[in-house]
Every structure is written in structure tokens, then in C-alpha cells.
Amino acid sequence: MRLISYQVLDQYMEFRGETNRSLAKKAGISQATVGHLRSGARNSCRPATARKIAFALQVLPESLFVPEVTTTQAGTTHMERVGPGTAQAASARRGATKAA
């Protein structure tokens, strides 16, 4: 997931009174990950990490992150999203149906 901007993350953290350390602890992620995202050194993270950060800040993931379009080996594109009904969940369901 791509961070909308490091400034947006910083503003949400300030509004909630969170430090890098406190957010990392609440989200169950490393302090370095929070620090890199907040400083702009990194602008993306895994969807699970995005969900954890959003939950810890009590916001919707879409308030902080946008899906990334990726290309599969077969040349098709899909978007990574957070939450139920995601492309990953649909792909897993299709795979289970084909295997049955």
C-alpha cells in the first residue's frame, strides 16, 4: 500500500497524540517502520501493516493509504486493497474453487 503522503500520516499522529514509539506499540509494528513512513524515507508498506497503522490511529485505511496496481506473471493487473472483499481474497477463493 502506498502512503498518501508522509505529511498526512504525521498530521493524524499529531492529532491522536502519538509518537513513533507509541504508534508502533499500538500497531504491533517496528518503530523503524513508523519512523521511515513518517519521515518520507519510505512511502509504502504491506497491506497488513497499513491496516494495523490505520486501526491504531482509528481511521479508515483509505485515509492514509492508496492501493498499488501490480502486474502478475501472467501479465494481468490487480489492485491491492485492505479489508474484506479484496482482490487477494477473491483470488484465494478462485484458487480454492479450481482445486475442488
Structural domain count, the chain: 2
Report pLDDT digits (tens) over 2-56: 999 999 999 999 999 999 999 999 999 999 999 999 999 999 999 999 999 999 9
Residues 27 and 54 grouped into a single domain:
yes
Residue 89 pLDDT more than 60? no
Residue 39 sits in a domain whose CATH number is 1.10.260.40
The pTM assigned to this predicted structure is 0.69
* Gap between the Cα atoms of 43 and 57, Å rounded: 18
The pLDDT of residue 19: 97
Residues 53 and 41 grouped into a single domain:
yes
The pLDDT of residue 52: 97
